[in-house]
Amino acid sequence: MSLAVEATGLTKSYGKLDVLTGVDLAVPAGSVFSLLGPNGAGKTTAVRILATLLRPDGGQARVAGYDVIRQRRQVRGAVSLTGQYAAVDELQTGAENLRMMGRLSGLSSAAATRRAAELLERFDLTAAGNRRAGTYSGGMRRRLDLAAGLVGSPSVIFLDEPTTGLDLTSRQAMWQVIAGLVSAGGTVFLTTQYLEEADQLADRIAVVDHGRVVAEGTPTDLKRRFGDQRLDLELADRTGWEAVAAHLGGRVVQRDPERLTLGVTTDGSAAHVRAVLDEIDPGRAAVRRFSLHSATLDDVFLALTTVKEPAHV
């Protein structure tokens, strides 16, 4: 398997603050890889090291086959990095932004013009190409920013929370763009605060917490291994709700006293669901209705960010 990104034992500290404490990563070429973690877990620091913007204190990393320390120039020629905020010149038109990036990348004037036209069409911006970028919507600016990063045809695209602040429609449009990048042969390294985004896009996910990877696998694998099924119960009255909540204690993972609902973990089997219902409602009068839900990445994320020892799928 060809790896577009590989890292072993990456560490990074700022004074007494340990940001990365030994991160290992392996990203197959031609895939979407998502790095998840709570704020301050080290996601952006890892991306900046891999994109050669920061030097690690320890460990090794290669991107597109090049060492991020000894071959920084080659790495920079093979990657693009799009951050959380669009970095476009709002006084220039969309086409002018892309032509400028082409010239800065070493393209001739004619080649930069051709490349700009290609990218405007690819990102559905042709009609707006001669408008100032300052008049673009948030989603359009993000697409233009991503297009600017692709002027040099990078093989590895780092996207650090690219849909932050976008509405659902614009986010879904970006999802289509990201899927298209991989279909065209690229590798996408994605960090995001939207867990459903990683679930929708990523072939593999790594969860980082306190500066280290605590789990890695496909979204399905992670949900199967770390996320329990959840049995949602709606109680008939407040007295019954309070009694069942007290009886289940720490097994309750969600509670809503206004709606008289409780969520309890279960393995999802009919036998276990039946056992829970018999346990809390032997008279079959306290529970009005129930439903069973599969684990989501939200459930996995909450479980993994409290894991004490690394676990790998």
CATH number of the domain within which 237 lies: 3.30.70.80
Are residue 159 and residue 49 in the same domain, yes or no?
yes
Are residues 127 and 259 located together in one domain of the fold? no
pLDDT band, very low/low/confident/very high, at 166 (cuts 50, 70, 90): confident
Q: What is the CATH number of the domain that holds 37?
A: 3.40.50.300
Q: What is the pLDDT of residues 105-160, one digit of tens each?
A: 899 999 999 999 999 998 889 999 999 999 999 889 988 998 998 898 899 999 98
Mean pLDDT in the chain? 89
159-181 mean pLDDT? 84
**What are the tens digits of pLDDT across the range 247-298?**
998 888 788 999 999 988 887 889 999 999 999 999 999 999 999 887 788 8
* Three-state secondary structure readout of the chain: CCEEEEEEEEEEEECCEEEEEEEEEEEECCCEEEEECCCCCCHHHHHHHHCCCCCCCEEEEEECCEECCCCHHHHHHHEEEECCCCCCCCCCEHHHHHHHHHHHCCCCHHHHHHHHHHHHHHCCCHHHCCCEHHHCCHHHHHHHHHHHHCCCCCCEEEEECCCCCCCHHHHHHHHHHHHHHHHCCCEEEEECCCHHHHHHHCCEEEEEECCEEEEEECHHHHHHHHCCEEEEEEECCHHHHHHHHHHHHHHEEEEECCCCEEEEEECCCHHHHHHHHHHHCCCCCCEEEEEEECCCHHHHHHHHCCCCCCCCC
* 251 and 125 part of one domain: no
Q: Decide which of 156, 187, 216 is a domain's last residue.
A: 216
Whether 37 and 133 share a structural domain:
yes
pLDDT value of residue 117: 96
Say yes or no to pLDDT of 311 above 60. Answer: no
Q: Does 102 lie in the same domain as 13? A: yes
Is residue 305 one of the residues assigned to a domain? no
Q: Domain limits at 284?
A: 228-294
Residue 118 and residue 232 in one domain:
no
**pLDDT over 60 at 307, yes or no:** no
